[in-house]
Structure 1
């Protein structure tokens, strides 16, 4: 069954580079058009794992309103070994070489339509590709010295089954982690890491610099949130989080020092506060932040991104609404 694309559905423009997949050069066009040959079928070529050929009508496909035009079709070939019910979804472009301008007239579906090839419909094309009057006029450059060139590009849409989803989770489960740092006055290293904790399948850790980091040394208490062992995470995806970092006031619940932040986390780089609070206030025993040489800090996740990358076996689309459910079948071998 042959199906043609209507003229009003065709987008035309010219480009400099030739067709990527297959070209047909016709020498002695006049002899071909005057012969008893209704059409010329090219040799088979392969694109996207399937076999194709062009079907060229030098005087138009008269059976499909192509009289007075050049007609050109893309035909799927050698389908005998394909599995029953096979379908191949394709977006394609046709080309006619303008030899005067050294450009290629490109013709394609104006709305980017995907054409489906199957056992009952093995051809798609344009019955009214070019008016013969235009095609034969030397001023247009399509037929020069009785020679012309046509071409095609075929994009086969193969559903791989790979997909990704992302969602933002508000107030995630187990989204609070509290770290009690004992013997605080004895901390003499540049920084310290908490134990690893997990929120929504992602490992995190806290980092503190008891005397401030290199740019806040002896001035401010530095407090960071970071991913743990990000390089081993199978998806290597950045993670978004909104969160509160808190230093507890152990004498007055209304006097905790708390700062809110939001960041995209990637690698094991800590965010956020180099100058979380002054060391003077932190170490002032009367203020209640350090009691019995113990400092208590905490992170509370407010929002966290959760991403999933998988295959068709766990498709995010309901079967009845899955846009890919009628995917091309793989030819049997």
Structure 2
């Protein structure tokens, strides 16, 4: 289900190259998760969370300071988003029970998802991709095909929903209009609102970490922005491809990013270590190299203060990974109508 991941094409506004901007809305309804809201709605612009609503707070709120500017053009925006999310919250209670019946599920944890959004090329002014799809328990349930403007049902349990939704021509036309017109228009507004924040450059803190003397050395960079960055090991000035394990770029809670790359040193003599260096490269910024030196490597065997630092870093990685897995499991999308960004009406399955 690669279309459900939050690691879709990541973008920034740096440089003269074309940028693919993305706007994605996630709706998630769950049952059997006592410590998680029954309904969560999240909006993501260029992989930054901009809107959040959940069934505990019952309030749609901006997650970026610049999103407050939306009210300059639409003073009732946040009130309306709250009302629409409350309505969807009730609708999804029905949908999740219907889905459980169709799949013959009873107890345990169950998730109903919706994701809606688009990607837009700021150079060609073309819509690169639009998507509107539903999932149940981490698998595709039904999705909208923009080419045929019909629904695709990969599961037998979704066939009746496909026939029902295909029959509603007006709604299919509305969805297509949102994906090709309204969503890109919203993207352009958000680019304007968030330009000052998105144009910034932040360099990372780079650390060398090692669990034990026999473990790979992890080069960890955190706190950088934008995400158009690379991290790699090189020896004698040449990039290494063997004995190297690259990690994914992950989000930090403050909107910056982190990533890591491991280097296996089991067959490398200690006297050759200084021939290796970890290189961080941020788009439009000079490369920053950290030479492999035993004296700067943080390990589990260090003094308490260093161990705390290492543990904190490791904990951050674990937490972010766990949140990413949770989002993959419960991702969904909300979308908006043409009239001042209202959500598209959704139909019961």
The normalised TM-score by structure 2 is 0.18
Q: Which has the higher helix share?
A: 2
Which of these two proteins has the greater Rg computed from alpha carbons? 1
Q: Which has the higher strand share?
A: 1
